Protein backbone atom coordinates (compact mmCIF):
# COMPACT_ATOMS: atom_id res chain seq x y z
CA UNK A 1 0.00 0.00 0.00
CA UNK A 2 2.91 2.35 0.72
CA UNK A 3 4.21 1.80 -2.82
CA UNK A 4 0.77 2.60 -4.25
CA UNK A 5 0.68 5.81 -2.24
CA UNK A 6 4.09 6.77 -3.59
CA UNK A 7 3.11 5.91 -7.18
CA UNK A 8 -0.02 8.08 -6.84
CA UNK A 9 2.18 10.91 -5.58
CA UNK A 10 4.56 10.55 -8.54
CA UNK A 11 1.60 10.44 -10.94
CA UNK A 12 0.43 13.68 -9.32
CA UNK A 13 -2.80 12.05 -8.16
CA UNK A 14 -2.44 13.99 -4.93
CA UNK A 15 -5.94 13.33 -3.61
CA UNK A 16 -5.53 9.56 -3.94
CA UNK A 17 -2.04 9.68 -2.42
CA UNK A 18 -3.31 11.64 0.60
CA UNK A 19 -6.25 9.25 1.00
CA UNK A 20 -4.05 6.16 0.79
CA UNK A 21 -1.64 7.69 3.30
CA UNK A 22 -4.46 8.40 5.69
CA UNK A 23 -5.55 4.77 5.52
CA UNK A 24 -2.00 3.55 6.00
CA UNK A 25 -1.28 5.57 9.14
CA UNK A 26 -3.73 3.54 11.16
CA UNK A 27 -2.28 0.25 9.94
CA UNK A 28 1.46 0.72 10.14
CA UNK A 29 3.68 -0.59 12.92
CA UNK A 30 7.00 0.22 11.23
CA UNK A 31 7.89 3.77 12.27
CA UNK A 32 10.24 4.38 9.35
CA UNK A 33 7.54 3.56 6.81
CA UNK A 34 5.04 5.56 8.85
CA UNK A 35 7.41 8.53 8.69
CA UNK A 36 7.75 8.19 4.92
CA UNK A 37 3.97 7.93 4.60
CA UNK A 38 3.52 11.17 6.52
CA UNK A 39 6.13 12.96 4.42
CA UNK A 40 4.43 11.73 1.23
CA UNK A 41 1.10 12.98 2.55
CA UNK A 42 2.62 16.39 3.26
CA UNK A 43 3.81 16.54 -0.35
CA UNK A 44 0.37 15.46 -1.54
CA UNK A 45 -1.30 18.23 0.50
CA UNK A 46 1.18 20.69 -0.98
CA UNK A 47 0.17 19.46 -4.45
CA UNK A 48 -3.47 20.01 -3.52
CA UNK A 49 -2.64 23.58 -2.41
CA UNK A 50 -3.53 22.76 1.19
CA UNK A 51 -0.52 24.14 3.06
CA UNK A 52 -2.40 24.38 6.36
CA UNK A 53 -3.29 20.68 6.25
CA UNK A 54 0.30 19.86 5.29
CA UNK A 55 1.71 21.88 8.19
CA UNK A 56 -0.78 20.45 10.70
CA UNK A 57 0.09 16.88 9.69
CA UNK A 58 3.81 17.58 9.83
CA UNK A 59 3.54 19.17 13.29
CA UNK A 60 1.53 16.20 14.55
CA UNK A 61 4.19 13.72 13.42
CA UNK A 62 7.28 15.96 13.62
CA UNK A 63 9.05 13.88 16.27
CA UNK A 64 8.66 10.68 14.30
CA UNK A 65 9.66 12.22 10.97
CA UNK A 66 12.63 14.04 12.49
CA UNK A 67 13.93 10.74 13.80
CA UNK A 68 14.24 9.29 10.28
CA UNK A 69 14.55 12.28 7.94
CA UNK A 70 15.27 15.51 9.85
CA UNK A 71 16.49 17.34 6.77
CA UNK A 72 13.24 16.56 4.95
CA UNK A 73 11.20 17.99 7.83
CA UNK A 74 13.12 21.27 7.78
CA UNK A 75 12.86 21.52 4.00
CA UNK A 76 9.14 20.82 4.02
CA UNK A 77 8.47 23.48 6.67
CA UNK A 78 10.36 26.01 4.55
CA UNK A 79 8.42 24.99 1.45
CA UNK A 80 5.06 25.15 3.24
CA UNK A 81 5.76 28.64 4.56
CA UNK A 82 7.01 29.82 1.19
CA UNK A 83 3.84 28.51 -0.48
CA UNK A 84 1.61 30.10 2.16
CA UNK A 85 3.15 33.49 1.37
CA UNK A 86 2.55 32.97 -2.36
CA UNK A 87 -1.11 31.99 -1.80
CA UNK A 88 -1.80 35.07 0.33
- DSSP class per residue in the chain: -HHHHHHHHHTT-HHHHHHHHHHHHTT---HHHHHHHHHHHHHHHHHTT-HHHHHHHHHHTHHHHHHH-HHHHHHHHHHHHHHHHHH-
Confidence of residue 11 (pLDDT cuts 50, 70, 90): very high
Nearest-angstrom CA–CA distance, 45 and 53: 7
Task: List the one residue out of 31, 34, 33, 53 whose CA is nearest residue 42.
Answer: 53
For residue range 19-71, list pLDDT tens digits in order.
Answer: 999 999 989 999 999 999 999 999 999 999 999 999 999 999 999 999 999 99
**pLDDT at position 17:** 97
Confidence of residue 87 (pLDDT cuts 50, 70, 90): low
**pLDDT at position 88:** 56
- Per the rule left: phi > 0, alpha: psi between -120 and 50, beta: everything else, 49 is left
**pTM of the entire predicted model:** 0.90
Nearest-angstrom CA–CA distance, 72 and 46: 14
Amino acid sequence: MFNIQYIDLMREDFAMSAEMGSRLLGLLDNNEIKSNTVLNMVLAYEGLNKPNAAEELLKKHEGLCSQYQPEAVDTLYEEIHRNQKIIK
